[in-house]
Chains A and B, each alone.
Chain A
Amino acid sequence: MEKIMVCLKRVVDYNVRIRVKPDQSGVVTEGVKMSINPFDEIALEEALRLREQGKATEVLVVTIGSADCQQQLRTGLAMGADRAVLIESDHDVEPLAAARILLKMIEKENPDLALLGKQAIDDDCNQTAQMLAALWDRPQATFASKLEVNDGSLRVTREVDAGLEVIDVDLPAVVSSDLRLNEPRYVKLPDIMKAKKKSIETIAIDSFGVDTTPAFAVTEYAAPPVRGKGIMVDDVAGLVDALKEKGFSL
């Protein structure tokens, strides 16, 4: 393979406790830590390992979002990406529009592999990789936990409900990473300093000629229902009694 394109999304850090705004217009994102979506970070790590093993020559990271996303691209460069592109947008972009934009990037960059996280931990959509593969008319290997490069194809192990599914996909292809594909590296300070010197290419989202107006209307954000407080029992007999009271006879 020559080029791998990795798509990153800037999201609220996974350690942040999410709170819905009192007026139900969204979740609180002001002043909270933002990070690369963890699944995308895994995708990037996999691309870097492939390059380090000599199975790819260039790793390009791409994101769609506000100018603030430069932070996450910088992290990507510090991890080891060769180039970074910010497709700048002042509004949230739905997965289908994101896939259409990413397809334009693919047409421009001709990567052999597009690597994405299986889902973003903010909207939890789990769509972009599949949509990109459909629009590109190329194979998709979602929920990847192992990736093996063969001549002109990939052998991908996928985490599915029934166990592990192994498929072969011809290149070019789209792969989405699951949690166990790898453990991303820690970024070292010298790499952060070096990454500051690398340039980030910025492209205005409108320049692609893709309509990115949201198709869906989100009319309300609500906190999830809370479970009622339970009881504590002292011993197994108490536990069995409590279960019987709830109608369980095991």
Chain B
Amino acid sequence: MKSVLIVAEHDGSALNPSTAKTVRCAQALAADSIDVAVFGSGIDAVAAQAARLNGVNRVLSVDRAENAHPLAAVIAPQVAALAPDYRYVFGPSTTFGKDVMPRVAALLGVGQISDIMEVLSADTFQRPIYAGNAIVTVRAPADGPIVATVRVASFRAVAEDGSASVETATTDATLPTHTRFVELQSDTGDRPDLQVANVVVSGGRGVGSKEKFDLLYALADRIGAGVGASRAAVDAGYVPNDMQVGQTGKIISPNLYLAFGISGAIQHLTGIKDAGTIVAVNKDPDAPIFEIADIGLVGDLFAVIPELEKQFGG
């Protein structure tokens, strides 16, 4: 049996698109089957959505009160309990997957391959090291499960046009009580999630203040874009941490990335290397971001953005 188990990421009401991207990666394994495990509480809608992912054969819904919040210490033993039936156990390389999957691997007594960016064969993968400044080819051991996280920026989401079966699954894993969820502070609003948005508008220190970021929000809302920021803008307190794009923030791959007032520190460029088209607007003609931008404009973002807004969206 050469089958795949994917640990789904969701927020209780909908799948995170990272799951559909992980399925795309799993398809490249040419495995016999792909199952998706959904851990949560009251997750019928999420399980039904997972069943629509193209290429998925079966959805395992592990619905219990203890799974209401994605705590690694609670979820990992349940994944490990399901794992013996599979050759591959994959999760997305999001903060959720990065938290859960190594714990699963250790419980299974195997190592993990982090951030798969390409599947070369059934046991050989490419992954980035040194913040993407080198790519290594890694071969997994011949036996034992292959536990891995999938770099979501490297894979397109599969379509939601399938019809897998949904089965209720239970495990006899003992769940710990030593880890307790308190709260999630989130102020992302209605804008598309950075890691899945087709277009991302992003600002750096050049934006100058929290208030002036409103200009970027307005432009983003006009074109249905997500909003990101450089580490400098986050550190200056213009925007919250979860908007940070870069090596220490989110690694994203939108079709179009519009960078305003971002100089282009290496750690930021690492986070946008997979974007389809990169547009940079900066006052400084020597800003490093122009070296990787597909379209560059030397100019004042405060003049450029209002003009762009006029041109965009009719």
> Interface residues, chain A, CB within 8 Å of chain B?
12, 17-18, 20, 27, 94-96, 99, 121-128, 130-135, 137-143, 145, 155, 158-170, 173, 178-180, 215-224, 227-228, 230-240, 242-243, 246, 248, 250
CA distance A221 to B138 in the complex (A): 9
In the complex, whether B191 has a CB less than 8 A from a CB of chain A is no
Which 10 interchain pairs have the tightest Cβ spacing?
A163-B186, A130-B102, A134-B106, A131-B106, A127-B102, A230-B294, A18-B133, A166-B182, A170-B178, A220-B137
Contact in complex: A131, B138 (CB < 8 Å): no
CA distance A179 to B235 in the complex (A): 11
CA distance A223 to B136 in the complex (A): 9
Contact in complex: A160, B96 (CB < 8 Å): yes
In the complex, whether B296 has a CB less than 8 A from a CB of chain A is yes
B133: A residues at CB distance < 8 A: 17-18, 27, 223-224
Contact in complex: B99, A140 (CB < 8 Å): yes
Contact in complex: B134, A96 (CB < 8 Å): no
CA distance A157 to B312 in the complex (A): 39
Contact in complex: B99, A223 (CB < 8 Å): no
B131: A residues at CB distance < 8 A: 121, 124
Which residue of the partner chain A has the closest CB to B312? A250
Contact in complex: A236, B186 (CB < 8 Å): no
Task: Enumerate 26 A-B pairs (CB-CB under 8 Å) in ascending A order.
Answer: A12-B130, A27-B133, A96-B111, A96-B112, A124-B128, A124-B131, A127-B112, A130-B72, A134-B107, A137-B176, A140-B73, A140-B103, A159-B95, A161-B94, A219-B124, A219-B137, A220-B137, A224-B134, A224-B135, A227-B278, A233-B296, A233-B297, A234-B297, A236-B304, A236-B311, A250-B199
Contact in complex: B180, A167 (CB < 8 Å): yes
Contact in complex: A159, B179 (CB < 8 Å): no
Chain A binder among B35-43, B46-54, B240-248:
B240-248
A179: B residues at CB distance < 8 A: 248
Contact in complex: A139, B176 (CB < 8 Å): yes
In the complex, whether B113 has a CB less than 8 A from a CB of chain A is yes
B211: A residues at CB distance < 8 A: none
Contact in complex: B134, A246 (CB < 8 Å): no
Contact in complex: A218, B130 (CB < 8 Å): no
Residue of B130, B241, B248 touching A18 (CB-CB under 8 A): B130
B133-164, CB under 8 A of A: which get 1 and which 0? 11111111100000000000000000000000
Residue of B137, B179, B290 touching A139 (CB-CB under 8 A): B179
Given contacts A127-B102, A163-B185, A166-B183, contact A139 B136 (CB under 8 A): no
Contact in complex: B138, A219 (CB < 8 Å): yes
In the complex, whether B263 has a CB less than 8 A from a CB of chain A is no
B128: A residues at CB distance < 8 A: 124, 224
CA distance A123 to B135 in the complex (A): 10
CA distance A90 to B304 in the complex (A): 56
Contact in complex: A135, B178 (CB < 8 Å): no
Contacts between chains A and B (CB distance < 8 A), count: 240
B250: A residues at CB distance < 8 A: 161
Residue of B100, B141, B179, B293 touching A168 (CB-CB under 8 A): B179
Contact in complex: B103, A134 (CB < 8 Å): yes
In the complex, whether B129 has a CB less than 8 A from a CB of chain A is yes
Contact in complex: B76, A163 (CB < 8 Å): no
Since A142-B99, A163-B185 are in contact, a sample of 13 more A-B pairs with Cβ atoms closer than 8 Å, ordered by chain A residue number, is A12-B130, A27-B130, A123-B129, A161-B96, A164-B186, A166-B183, A224-B128, A224-B132, A228-B294, A236-B304, A236-B307, A240-B311, A250-B311
CB of B134 to closest CB in A, whole Å: 5
Which residue of the partner chain B has the closest CB to A160? B95
CA distance A126 to B193 in the complex (A): 23
B182: A residues at CB distance < 8 A: 155, 166-168
A128: B residues at CB distance < 8 A: 102
B19: A residues at CB distance < 8 A: none
